Amino acid sequence: MNYLLLHKDLIVARFFLDEENKNSQPQKVRINTAYKEHFPIGGQMNNMKFMEWWQDRTIPSTRQGAIPALERLGYKSTIHAMVNNMCLSLNDCYWIKPENIDVTWNDVNLFTNDFVDSFGELTFDSNHEFDIRENTGFLKAISSQGEVQKKWCIAEDGRRFMVKGNYGNSYQQSINEVFATKLHELQGWKEFTPYFFCKIKTDRNVEGLGCMSYNFCSDTVESVSAWEMLQTVKIHQNRSLFAPFREVCLKNGMKEEYFDRFIDYQILSDFLISNTDRHMNNIAILRDPDSLKLIGFAPIYDFGNSMFYKIPTEFLLSVQPGQDKTHSFITSKEINLLKYVKDRSVLNLDKIDVDFSLYEKDNGDNKERGDRLKRLYYRKAEMLRTFQQGKDIWKGKYI
């Protein structure tokens, strides 16, 4: 079937899609030259990049609960689910529709129309009871990234918010999100996404602890990941992504001082909480979907994979702070990211005393684990204090 790729109501491309193929990719893509600047940034360089953009938009099949959710909803794959739900997202204003269907952006966009994220609900509880056909209309799944369980909801005041779960039986990832929120509040840093505790129900009607955050995108503000921005420049294999990312942001109108201060703070605060998962889809730029002008960085988000969440309590005492491998501008030791910091004082080490009793909310050996995490946290703070005194602590003698 012939499909249209749209940015709001602007037709930016036409393509063919084999709906019988559960992993179908767009074929015979023809960009509308009248609106070529509205074509997704991530796919502008060539057709292969566009296929990567398409694939990256898909809900990961590795997400917890994805397989039973797909089966319950009658989908052959996550790509099938994405296509069936018009590729709609709460991060931007792109969507698709069959060429012969007469619907507009106002009819379908998730920022103003009611929806139920059935797929998201089922990733938490595969036995969730609702009439899928009656309660969700055409929508059953919302495009989003990440492997942890998540679902989009609508608050009473109309705001869209995301609920996130955790890996395994621990609640630490949700606790980490709230812990980071408290840190940024103490710092007086404004550009971050606040997270709040919430109750979640999982299989067998078990109640657990999750977290939620309000959407920072809307019908007038969309986000573009750092990964997408980087698709517009040539990347040398095994080289740091920092310089090309800085270059592309400045080229698109971002002020140098603003870029440096934001990234300095993000690196330093991530280092303090040992967030080693600041990959290029966990950094985003906000822009106006109509004028395409950059607004600034998306408020820092996604802190769950921090505070040594994967390390069993009994091994925390043997951790060497700063030596974990990071997934960010580089993929080497976390401490090496400090080389990119220009203003070492942007994080105030006198305002980092977050209440560690938060970790007592976990459902395991919470007191002992909390004490050990606290010890590591303040060890990282000592390292940053040495760094702020002018020492290049990635050199072994300062560690």
Q: What is the CATH classification number for the domain harbouring 323? A: 1.10.1070.20
> For residue 357, what are the CA distances in angstroms to 200, 206, 279, 283, 366?
21, 24, 29, 29, 9
Q: Strands 294-297, 2-7: parallel, antiparallel or unpaired by DSSP?
A: unpaired
**Angstrom distance (rounded) from CA 341 to CA 177:** 24
Quick one: 132 and 236 in the same domain?
no
Q: What is the pLDDT of residue 86?
A: 92
Q: What is the pLDDT of residue 304?
A: 96
For residue 209, being part of any structural domain is answered with: no
Domain range enclosing 236: 222-398
For residue 349, being part of any structural domain is answered with: yes
Quick one: 106 and 234 in the same domain?
no
Dihedral Cα 178, 179, 180, 181, nearest 10 deg: 50
Q: What is the pLDDT of residue 223?
A: 97
For residue 65, being part of any structural domain is answered with: yes
Q: What is the pLDDT of residue 1?
A: 87
For residue 261, being part of any structural domain is answered with: yes
Quick one: 258 and 356 in the same domain?
yes
Q: What is the pLDDT of residue 128?
A: 72
Inter-residue long-range contacts of 114-120, CB under 8 Å, 24+ positions, other chains counted: 114/154, 115/139, 115/142, 115/152, 115/154, 117/141, 117/142, 117/151, 117/152, 117/153, 118/73, 119/59, 119/69, 119/70, 119/73, 119/81, 119/151, 120/149, 120/150, 120/151, 120/152, 120/163
Quick one: 138 and 227 in the same domain?
no
Quick one: 228 and 338 in the same domain?
yes
pTM reported for the whole predicted model? 0.93
Considering its fold, how many domains does the chain have in total?
Answer: 2
For residue 69, being part of any structural domain is answered with: yes
For residue 380, being part of any structural domain is answered with: yes
For residue 172, being part of any structural domain is answered with: no
**Angstrom distance (rounded) from CA 378 to CA 382:** 6
* pLDDT tens for the 399 residues of the chain, in order: 899 999 999 999 999 998 777 677 899 999 999 999 999 998 888 888 899 999 989 888 888 888 888 888 888 888 888 988 999 999 999 999 999 999 999 999 999 999 989 888 888 887 777 665 554 455 677 778 777 889 999 999 999 999 999 987 889 999 999 999 999 999 999 999 999 999 998 776 778 999 999 999 999 999 999 999 999 888 887 789 999 999 999 999 999 999 999 999 999 999 999 999 999 999 999 999 999 999 999 999 999 999 999 999 999 999 999 999 999 999 999 999 999 999 999 999 999 999 999 999 987 657 889 999 999 999 999 999 999 999 999 987 666
For residue 196, being part of any structural domain is answered with: no
